[in-house]
Amino acid sequence: MRKKSSKNNYAEMFGLLGQVRQKRALRIKANDMSLQQRLRIIQMIFQLSEEQVEDRSLAE
């Protein structure tokens, strides 16, 4: 644990820790965006499949 804290102090001296935290935050935001896009795509696929089912039931 002590070694880790000295590493953090060393990184903060050069302002690297802040950059790492910013990059991590941006990466998390990017993951959230891609998850939202995946959800939208999945919803669109479900809507299309539901419409196809309705079309088939009308055709019968």
Quickly list H helices, the chain.
Answer: 2-13, 16-59
Residue 3 pLDDT class (50, 70, 90 cuts): low
**CA 17, 21, 22, 23 torsion-angle sign:** positive
Residue 30's φ and ψ, nearest 5 degrees, are -60, -40
Structure confidence at residue 15 (pLDDT): 73
Task: For 22-55, write each residue's pLDDT tens digit.
Answer: 888 877 777 777 888 888 888 888 888 887 777 7
pTM attached to this predicted model: 0.39
Instruction: Give the span between the Cα atoms of 45 and 47, in whole angstroms.
Output: 5
What are the extents of the domains in the chain? 2-59
Instruction: Give the span between the Cα atoms of 30 and 24, in whole angstroms.
Output: 10
Structure confidence at residue 4 (pLDDT): 58
